[in-house]
């Protein structure tokens, strides 16, 4: 009796799950080799370019069904690379990203709006121990089974405590970090 | 002292003492900065050292060009041949080092992959990209050339003192501006 009761619940649960999955926006599988999170910041008056080499994205997006679209991007902060060993050795330390305590940065958005040029994702970015609302304007190009998303975003690194103590000052390492995001994904 | 000393031109004198000041500053900053713990101050010291290094490169070009346009005054008579040769050789190598030392620093910076800005005004591109294997080579080159400058500048200054204090000729006056207050009437 009890077992059959559970069985009913399980079946109903599955059906409900399937139903909500059916309503959800199209799922997309990112193509890591063709996707990139790059950034640019100034150091001692000159531009430094870098990137986060590893990140995972869960993308459910349908331009015609923005209300059920959602995105979650998880960045492996330790994969940061700026083309200079000496600098890359410093960035994981507690003054900067403190990857021992905060190995991941997460961007989550479930609110999307259409704009003149594309879309804007309103969500949150968790970096170190700071979670802040972030609006990410992006353009999207869907060609057949492939979607290409491009975004550019200026962040103030000090908002997230990237650069503690003496590094919070912006005269040697600029506060403004310009992210350039390119994600390619295949329709599931 | 006689009034008919053939001096270097005003611009040559300015460039000479200007480079002297820059070279001394480069040495002192370079000496300090490598010993500092990592901090914005250390980065600032490096940035200043790199900017001044570029400045000396620019000044060196100006000096060579000006030297061709306005050759130095004739050499003083009465200096032994070996001393004249040693002096000329020192000058030639000092000129070469004014190019080689900043160039090696530029190469070192390029191999490390650090940005380079001329006093925050101009982004200077790297000489080459992605050469961390050559980092130690350029570091050593910059260090050796740097101490080469210290050695030669010491010789150069020592010789000037020797002429001024022991020989008591007018070699040093050739490189000093005419200062009215110091003129003997």
Q: Above 60 in pLDDT, residue A106?
A: yes
Token duo for residue A29: 């599988």
* Residues A63 and A142 sit within 8 Å (Cβ to Cβ): yes
* Residues A34 and A44 sit within 8 Å (Cβ to Cβ): no
Confidence of residue B176 (pLDDT cuts 50, 70, 90): very high
Residue B183's pLDDT is: 54
| Digit-coded pLDDT (tens) for A20-70 | 444 568 899 999 999 999 999 999 888 899 999 999 999 999 999 999 999
Mean pLDDT of chain B: 91
Alpha-carbon distance of B74 to B86, in angstroms, equals 16
Confidence of residue B111 (pLDDT cuts 50, 70, 90): very high
B133 reaches A (C-beta below 8 A): no
Contacts of A45 in chain B (CB under 8 A): 47, 115, 117, 119-121, 123
Alpha-carbon distance of A37 to A60, in angstroms, equals 19
Domain segments of chain B: what residues? Answer: 10-182
Residue A80's pLDDT is: 97
Mean pLDDT, rounded, for A87-102: 96
Q: Do A45 and B47 touch (CB under 8 A)?
A: yes
Report which of residues B171 and B21 the model is more confident about. Answer: B21
DSSP state of B122: E
Q: Above 90 in pLDDT, residue B17?
A: yes
Q: Above 80 in pLDDT, residue B42?
A: yes
Q: Above 80 in pLDDT, residue B185?
A: no
Residue B184's pLDDT is: 53
Residue A19's pLDDT is: 42
Q: Where are the beta strands (DSSP E) in chain A?
A: 27-30, 36-43, 46-52, 55-60, 70-76, 80-81, 104-114, 119-127, 130-143, 146-156, 176-187
Alpha-carbon distance of A74 to B183, in angstroms, equals 77
Mean pLDDT, rounded, for B115-136: 86
Mean pLDDT of chain A: 89
User: Which domains are delineated in chain A?
Assistant: 26-187 (2.40.128.110)
B136 reaches A (C-beta below 8 A): no
Token duo for residue B31: 């000496």
Of A45, A86, A171, the CB nearest to B117: A45
Contacts of B43 in chain A (CB under 8 A): 43-44, 172-173
Which pTM was predicted?
0.81
Residue A169's pLDDT is: 92
**CATH code assigned to B10-182:** 1.20.950
Q: Is residue A187 helix, strand or coil?
A: strand
Tally Cβ neighbours within 10 Å of residue B174: 18
- Report ipTM for this prediction: 0.72
Report which of residues A101 and A171 the model is more confident about. Answer: A101
Residue A14's pLDDT is: 46
Mean pLDDT, rounded, for A134-155: 96
Q: Do A84 and B40 touch (CB under 8 A)?
A: no
Residue A23's pLDDT is: 58
């Amino acid at each position: 009796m009890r077992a059959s009761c559970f069985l009913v619940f399980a079946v109903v649960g599955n059906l409900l799950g399937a139903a909500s999955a059916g309503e959800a926006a199209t799922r997309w599988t990112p193509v890591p080799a063709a996707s990139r999170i790059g950034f640019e910041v100034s150091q001692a008056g000159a531009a430094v370019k870098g990137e986060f080499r590893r990140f995972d994205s869960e993308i459910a997006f349908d331009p015609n069904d923005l209300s059920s679209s959602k995105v979650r991007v998880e960045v492996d902060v330790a994969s940061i690379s700026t083309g200079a060993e000496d600098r890359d050795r410093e960035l994981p330390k507690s003054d900067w990203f403190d990857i021992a305590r905060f190995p991941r940065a997460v961007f989550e958005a479930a609110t999307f709006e259409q704009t003149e040029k594309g879309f804007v994702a309103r969500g949150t970015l968790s970096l170190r121990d700071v979670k802040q609302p972030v609006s990410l304007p992006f353009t999207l190009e869907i060609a057949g089974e492939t979607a290409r998303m491009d975004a550019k975003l200026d962040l103030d690194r000090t908002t997230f405590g990237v650069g503690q103590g003496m590094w919070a000052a912006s005269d040697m390492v600029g506060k403004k970090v310009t992210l350039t995001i390119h994600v390619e994904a295949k329709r599931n | 002292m006689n009034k008919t000393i053939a001096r270097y031109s005003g611009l040559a004198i300015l460039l000479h003492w200007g480079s002297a000041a820059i070279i001394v500053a480069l040495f002192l900053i370079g000496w300090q900065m490598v010993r500092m713990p990592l901090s914005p101050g250390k980065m600032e010291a490096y940035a200043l050292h790199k900017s001044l290094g570029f400045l000396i490169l620019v000044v060196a070009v100006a000096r060579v060009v000006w030297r061709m346009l306005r050759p130095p005054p004739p050499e003083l008579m009465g200096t032994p041949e070996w001393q004249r040769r040693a002096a000329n050789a020192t000058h030639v190598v000092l000129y070469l080092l004014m190019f080689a030392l900043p160039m090696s620093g530029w190469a070192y910076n390029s191999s490390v992959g650090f940005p380079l800005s001329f006093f925050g005004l101009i982004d200077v591109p790297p000489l080459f990209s992605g050469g961390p294997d050559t980092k130690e080579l350029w570091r050593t080159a910059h260090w050796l050339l740097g101490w080469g400058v210290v050695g030669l500048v010491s010789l150069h200054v020592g010789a000037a003192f020797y002429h001024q204090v022991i020989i008591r000729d007018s070699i040093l006056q050739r490189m000093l501006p005419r200062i009215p207050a110091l003129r003997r009437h």
